[in-house]
Amino acid sequence: DVQYGWLIRNLHANGASMFFICIYLHIGRGLYYGSYLYKETWNIGVILLLLVMATAFVGYVLPWGQMSF
């Protein structure tokens, strides 16, 4: 066991959740202000969102638990 490992694990989990909340707020702001009209910039943002979601999924199944199969 690591000293304060529970704290590090909780900070990591809550930090990841806060990161996604910030992403969704950023998307909402873009929708509100009409930023989707700039197609190229908006499409890059959508691609980045999909990459972040894929990375989060890989990190979720990384421990090779039952969900990994």
**According to the 3-state scheme, what is the secondary structure of 10-49?**
HHHHHHHHHHHHHHHHHHHHHHHHCHHHCHHHHHHHHHHH
pLDDT number for residue 63: 78
Tell me how far apart the alpha carbons of residues 11 and 14 are, in angstroms, rounded to a whole number.
5
Domain ranges of the chain: 5-62
pLDDT number for residue 34: 97
Residue 5, pLDDT > 70, answer yes
- What would the mean pLDDT of 41-63 be, rounded to a whole number? 94
